[in-house]
Chains A and B, each alone.
Chain A
Amino acid sequence: MSNTDFVLAIEDLTVSFDGFKAVDALSMYIDKNELRVVIGPNGAGKTTVLDLICGKTKSSSGSIKFNNIELTQLAEHEIVRAGIGRKFQTPSIYENLTVYQNLEVSYPVGRSVWGSLTFKRTQALSEQVNKIAAEVLLTEHLQMEAALLSHGQKQWLEIGMLLMQDPELLMLDEPVAGMSAKERDQTADLLNRICQNRSVLVIEHDMEFVKKIAHKVTVLHQGKILAEGSMEKVQSDEKVIEVYLGH
């Protein structure tokens, strides 16, 4: 594959679990500063695509290039350091630490053993923590134990932890699951703000929410792309209505 201008270029990606192809010869391209939403029925392979990109699952064949760097051979932490952040489907935060500490742990300085032992809590760190906490609406809760946050706040915290690393590509798996209507609106605003100078890949089921944020939508079904394009185009696609939106 030749070099491209895409931030992320997935080509012919396949993974099979005991013969079952969860992702099947998938090709997908994401532009700089694009906010892409991937939708599709349960079990379509959406989470698996994120797993493949961030190295959690190894692909059977195909290529994933991030800024023209091949990712399929890299270890998980190397993929993160290349500039990709990923939020898990169920909020994955450190419940025993405070909100502040959760953000501090995610600060991308002192990532080696020695670096973490000699790491100094600098002014820059606390500024960054405060900035991100304000961004994800958790300023009031910085000293709170993360386990005590509401479900929606835990989702925000995890997004905040990713923002601490200032990734070039941010991948969010169902970020508004378990949120109230008001929290969903706030999250939509948040995503529209943070995609200003980075690409964002969101998996979501909530169509109202998708409408508010998506630049472009990809519909996944049985590991393959069913349709791709603007929200209006995808919504009026007959195949999409049949397998996903119809019910």
Chain B
Amino acid sequence: MKELSDKLLGGRQGAVGLAILALLLFVVFPLCLDLFRLGLLGKYVTYAFVAVSLVLLWGNGGILSLGQGMFFGLGGYCMAMFLKLEASDPVSTKIQTTPGIPDFMDWNQLTELPWFWLPFKSLPLTLVLVLVVPTLLAFIIGYAMFKRRVGGVYFAIITQAIALILSILIIGQQGYTGGVNGITDLKTMLGWDIRTDSAKYILYFVNAGLLIGCMLLARYILTSKFGMLLLAMRDKEERVRFSGYDVSNFKIFIFCVAAMMSGIGGAMFTLQVGFMSPSFVGIVPSIEMVIFAAVGGRMSLIGAVYGTLLVNFGRTMFSETFPELWLFLMGGLFIAVVMFFPDGLAGIYDKYARKFNIAGVTSKYVAKFSKKAAKMIGEKYE
């Protein structure tokens, strides 16, 4: 399986693949799409963080989490809480019974900011919490499950149950969380209006940059001995354990990394879309994320990103014309992929790319195209 080692080592193909993706995200899409479409794309890219995390966790580690939405949501809520506090300054909320607290708290007769909102007054602290809160929850769940050797289907069901509980909790505690509407009407970050066109462009690029960063981190993990151990654990967990490894620690770690990546995606979602709600926390979004990764290819970091983008563009196009049909189509797509293309789009690409040496040809075109694009950008800003 030289192929596998090449891919793991990044190899030439891996590097070219990442370069093409970066080119699309940073140059082609921003040049070709209007701001509205680019905003949509930015939203989809935030889901891709979760898909990439699932490639690590599920594709390589064999650990299926059906609750990644909760980490996405937690990251998103952390960011939203900061933005909401900034939007709720005493001046703009002076008509409330208690000015200076978020509007939904006021509607729910709260007269004081709850203690767990206090850290979100500070941006640096918020950024830390965006990373720490999902990771910490993953650590607690992972420790409780993996140390007891809970795995496979049981783990999947338990993560799903926890995601459901979290979404119910958020909906139920309206005064503390904004309830089913979520946290809305977000405006500025340290005075910088996130709703302007320029802010949207900047956030789009930051988002794409963070995604590439997460992919590089994921690739580093996969090419290290840790990555090989993930594959080994997926294949024969007992053998790994009886080779002197504490398997549970490895699972806890990768679950935490996956949660942290998902949380970053959630925070970027909040910034770009301008709200966060419990509909991104529960079972349905969690399962959708798994479908994105499966369609793109659960073994391929790059494939998972394309899978996410394609399925979401498909949804947008379809639900404009036949909204009721979309869910069935997505379900059917998932079944078809699992049955006929277990390695997803990446698997199909691999199979045919090898035949026609697509990597070689595309890298030539990419080189040509990037020169052209660079010239175009140059002209645009002259």
What is A's interface to B at a CB cutoff of 8 Å? 54, 56, 75-77, 80-81, 85-86, 88, 92-98, 101, 104-106, 108, 110-113, 116-119, 143, 145, 161, 165
Contacts and interface: CB of A to CB of B under 8 A. Distances in A.
**Mostly helix, strand, loop or mixed at chain A's interface?**
loop
Contacts of B229: 105, 116
B68 to A, nearest CB: 21
Nearest to B224: A117
A88 B4 CA distance: 26
B228 A81 contact: no
Given A94-B236, A105-B232, A116-B229, A77 B246 contact: yes
Interface residues of B, number: 28
Closest 10 CB pairs of A and B: A80-B244, A119-B225, A145-B1, A116-B226, A116-B225, A92-B239, A94-B232, A94-B235, A113-B253, A77-B246
A97 B1 contact: yes
A145 B231 CA distance: 13
B138 to A, nearest CB: 14
Contacts of A75: 246
Nearest to B254: A113
A77 B245 contact: yes
Interface in B205-253: 221, 224-226, 228-229, 231-232, 234-236, 238-247, 249-250, 253
Contacts of A56: 238, 242
A105 B243 contact: yes
Contacts of A116: 224-226, 229, 250
Given A94-B236, A96-B235, A112-B249, A101 B242 contact: no
Given A104-B225, A165-B244, 17 more contacts: A56-B238, A75-B246, A92-B236, A92-B239, A93-B239, A96-B231, A96-B234, A97-B1, A97-B235, A108-B244, A112-B246, A117-B224, A117-B225, A118-B224, A143-B2, A145-B1, A161-B243
B370 interface: no
B247 to A, nearest CB: 8
B249 A113 contact: yes
Interface of B: 1-2, 4-5, 221, 224-226, 228-229, 231-232, 234-236, 238-247, 249-250, 253
Contact of A117 (B4, B226, B236, B240): B226
Contacts of B228: 97, 101, 104-105
Nearest to A99: B1
B109 to A, nearest CB: 47
B116 to A, nearest CB: 30
B38 to A, nearest CB: 36
B231 A97 contact: yes
Contacts of B2: 98, 143
Nearest to B8: A101
Greatest chain B CB density within 10 A among A92, A118, A145 is at A92
A80 B242 contact: yes
Given A113-B226, A113-B249, A81 B235 contact: no
A15 to B, nearest CB: 18
Contacts of A54: 242
Contacts of B236: 92-94
A96 B244 contact: no
7 contacts: A75-B246, A76-B242, A96-B231, A113-B253, A117-B224, A119-B224, A161-B243
A94 B239 contact: yes
A94 B236 CA distance: 6
A145 B228 CA distance: 14
A96 B230 CA distance: 12
Contact of B238 (A88, A105, A106): A88
A76 B241 contact: yes
B231 A106 contact: no
